[in-house]
Amino acid sequence: MSISNLERQTVIDVAADGYGVIRPKDLPAVLIPFAIDNEVVDIHITHRKRQVWYGEIKNLHLPSPHRVTPQCTHFGLCGGCRWQMMDYQYQLHHKRRFVEQALHHIGKLEVPVPPVIPSPQVWRYRNKAEYAFGYNDANEVVLGFHPRGAFDQVLGIEQCWLMPAIFEEIRLTVLEQVKLLGLTPYNPRTHKGLLRSLLIRGTEERCIALLSIAENRPEIVETVFAPLRHKLQGYGYFHNPKRNDSLSDLTPHPLHGDLTLEYQVKERCYRLGPKDFFQVNLSQAANLVEWIRQRMDQKVPALYDLYGGVGLFAVGLADKADTVFLVEKLPEAVQNAQSNLQANQSHFPQTTWRAVSGSVETTLSETVRIAEGAVAIVDPPREGLHPKLRRFLARGAFDKIVYVSCHPATQARDIAELHQFYQVTEVQPFDLFPHTTGIENVVIMKRR
């Protein structure tokens, strides 16, 4: 048995990033993708990174009873799904474990973690997609996704089973137009070419689409979207001359129709712009809001929606508070949050509200006096709570904190720092991202 090829190894675990774990005798741990615990495999070592080795399955001797046939023909090549080869109930089993392990090992907490609340839709649940332009091996233009860890490569796809069917119709029409017009994809290494990405957001009933282009050529965008004029609620483009593909600091330029999306979650209506954050799984977002609602008091003096975005929680729970205060750093999102609070006022006519733009940590510590008995909902990005905000929360300003997170590890770190001031009373994971390793977790903390 050579070191580069290991035979009949047992997968002993599945790590939080989705890799199967093998521990060969007298060798470092080996991580392999698309493996399920207790499977017996032959593997080939592909590379080493510090004390961890990485490999791939060469032969599968004993498959798991939880192994299924992937729905997607691109599974294993695309950088998206990690677990289409695993039955859905077993995906939920491991996601619960990830939350439990993070809270125990990082948060130093012994709290019960109930089963994950499953997604009502397992396929075609996403309301947002960002496709990349590139070339395949035959030098043909493709519009698809980057393979994992390969920013300069693009995998042309037949279809993505996580997206609504209308997204695929739009994508294929755009690709056909691009080929007819002879347009060139942007090359991230040479920084030559025009087309960078295609953003689609919405539902089967109503969609918007925007191209990201390296040159300011609106006439080209008009021609590309022309066959879709009556299919799309609106279309436009981002002019991106930068060296990176991020859209967050770019301005959307409308060319036709309305680029403002409108989603309905539990009888509340939400308007948002092309760049605004919103949960990609609408039916599960509704379950998330309802679960929090059932655990709030009949009426609280004040509800603080921190990292509030366009107001998913502020609007959805406003009738449970005398006053709602939303804080969000992005001015465009705050404007939409104000519109959403105003538009839904009939659902909470007695509630006063305010939405402000600014960093959460600065706004709370410098400008806000917290009412006694107030509840805070925090839904930070993956990096978790800002250290300054953790210090503020440690003062015990809130009677209760509802911490919503898409990254249990940073959530557990933050809770560990707050644990001496707040007691964890309930935990509940939600699966908003079937077939990926992502998990949304909610922790309720009560002031000691």
- Clarify whether residues 234 and 316 are in a common domain: no
Whether residue 267 is contained in a domain is answered as no
pLDDT at 48: 86
Q: What sections of 294-355 are H helices per DSSP?
A: 312-316, 331-343
CATH number for the domain harbouring residue 209? 2.40.50.1070
DSSP letter for 185, please.
Answer: B
pTM summary value? 0.94
Whether residue 71 is contained in a domain is answered as no
- Clarify whether residues 285 and 419 are in a common domain: yes
pLDDT at 185: 97
Ordered per-residue pLDDT tens for the chain, 448 residues: 456 889 999 999 999 889 999 999 888 899 999 999 999 999 999 988 878 899 999 999 999 999 999 999 999 998 889 999 999 999 999 999 999 999 999 999 999 999 999 999 999 999 999 999 999 999 999 999 998 878 789 999 999 999 999 999 999 999 999 999 999 999 999 999 999 999 999 999 999 999 999 999 999 999 999 999 999 999 999 999 999 999 999 999 999 999 999 999 999 999 999 999 999 999 999 999 999 999 998 899 999 999 999 999 999 999 999 999 999 999 999 999 999 999 999 999 999 999 999 999 889 877 667 888 999 999 999 999 999 999 999 988 899 999 999 999 999 999 999 999 999 999 999 999 999 999 999 999 999 9
- Clarify whether residues 204 and 286 are in a common domain: no
Whether residue 82 is contained in a domain is answered as no
Q: Is 205 left (phi over 0), alpha (psi -120 to 50) or beta?
A: alpha
Last residue within a domain, chosen from 62, 78, 98: 62
pLDDT at 1: 43
Whether residue 47 is contained in a domain is answered as yes
- Clarify whether residues 51 and 142 are in a common domain: no
- Clarify whether residues 254 and 304 are in a common domain: no
| CA atoms within a 13 Å half-sphere pointing along the CA-CB vector of 245 | 20
- Clarify whether residues 327 and 437 are in a common domain: yes
Last residue within a domain, chosen from 25, 41, 62: 62
- Clarify whether residues 253 and 301 are in a common domain: no
- Clarify whether residues 203 and 293 are in a common domain: no
pLDDT at 2: 52
The answer to whether the CB of 182 falls within 8 A of the CB of 201 is no
The answer to whether the CB of 277 falls within 8 A of the CB of 309 is yes
Please tell me the total count of domains within the chain. 3
Whether residue 81 is contained in a domain is answered as no
3-class secondary structure per residue, the chain: CCCCEEEEEECCEECCCCCEEECCCCCCCEEECCCCCCCEEEEEEEEEECCEEEEEEEEEEECCCCECCCCCCCCCCCCCCCCCCECHHHHHHHHHHHHHHHHHHHCCCCCCCCCCECCCCCCCCCCEEEEEEEECCCCCEEEEECCCCCCCCCEECCCCCCCCHHHHHHHHHHHHHHHHHCCCECECCCCECCEEEEEEEECCCCEEEEEEECCCCHHHHHHHHHHHCCCCCEEEEEECCCCCCCCCCCCEEEEEECCCEEEEECCEEEEECCCCCCCCCHHHHHHHHHHHHCCCCCCEEEEEEECCCCCHHHHHCHHHEEEEEEEECCHHHHHHHHHHHHHCHHHCCCCEEEEEECCHHHHHHHHCCCCCCCEEEECCCCCCCCHHHHHHHCCCCCCEEEEEECCHHHHHHHHHHHCCCEEEEEEEEECCCCCCCCCEEEEEEEEC
- Clarify whether residues 419 and 281 are in a common domain: yes
Token representation of residue 365: 């510590």
- Clarify whether residues 431 and 286 are in a common domain: yes
To the nearest 10°, the Cα dihedral for 299, 303, 309, 315? 20
- Clarify whether residues 311 and 419 are in a common domain: yes
- With H, G, I as helix, E, B as strand and everything else as coil, classify residue 233: coil
Token representation of residue 229: 């004029």
Last residue within a domain, chosen from 262, 289, 306: 262
Taking the C-alpha atoms of residue 437 and residue 83, their distance in angstroms, rounded to an integer, is 7
Domain span at 11: 5-62
CATH number for the domain harbouring residue 53? 2.40.50.140
Whether residue 16 is contained in a domain is answered as yes
pLDDT at 367: 67
Whether residue 158 is contained in a domain is answered as yes
- Max distance between CA atoms of the chain, in angstroms, equals 73
Whether residue 90 is contained in a domain is answered as no
Q: What angle is formed at CA 54 by the lines to CA 53 and CA 56, rounded to 5 degrees? A: 145
- Clarify whether residues 294 and 401 are in a common domain: yes
Taking the C-alpha atoms of residue 413 and residue 387, their distance in angstroms, rounded to an integer, is 11
Secondary structure E strands in 76-233: 128-135, 141-145, 155-156, 195-202, 207-213
